[in-house]
Amino acid sequence: MTKLTLGSHPFLLGFDQLERLVERTAKSDANGYPPYNIEQYGENAYRITLAVAGFAEDDLAITLEDRQLVIRGRQRDEAGDRVFLHRGIAARQFQRSFVLAEGVEVSGASMENGLLHIDLKRSLPETVVQTIRINGGRKG
């Protein structure tokens, strides 16, 4: 029995990239830190909000490569000569990834009250109608 995959279905020509995208998304880090929200504003605008309390703007990096949005955080451990009787707030690093659909672009990022906001915008492609001319079947 042959395994039918999304990219091999006869009506879905050229969608093999979508299958790779789904696989890449499934492999992305699924831990719960930092917590995040995804909101939709209107029909074509989105906002990802990450709770990054304790991180400064310089501790965070946002990159976009091949439709994958990656947010990394790395706190500097500045304990120095401090003596902790209890240390419940750990200086930890994280990486959170989101795969963006084609046409979705990052329009900006901001920090506010320990929350990192990343704004996204979807640009709608123009509808193109193309008429294909049929050449005659005669040779010669």
Show the domains of the chain with their CATH numbers. Answer: 1-30 (no CATH), 31-122 (2.60.40.790)
pLDDT of residue 79: 63
| pTM of this structure | 0.70
The answer to whether the Cα torsion of 11, 124, 95, 41 is positive or negative is negative
Q: Are 6 and 22 within 8 A, CB to CB?
A: yes
pLDDT band at 48 (very low <50, low <70, confident <90, very high): very high
pLDDT of residue 89: 74
**Is the pLDDT reported for residue 18 higher than 90?**
no
Mean pLDDT score across all residues of the chain: 83
**Is the pLDDT reported for residue 34 higher than 60?**
yes
Mean pLDDT within 86-114: 89
**Is the pLDDT reported for residue 4 higher than 70?**
no
For the stretch 57-96, pLDDT in tens is 999 999 999 889 999 999 876 667 888 898 777 678 999 9
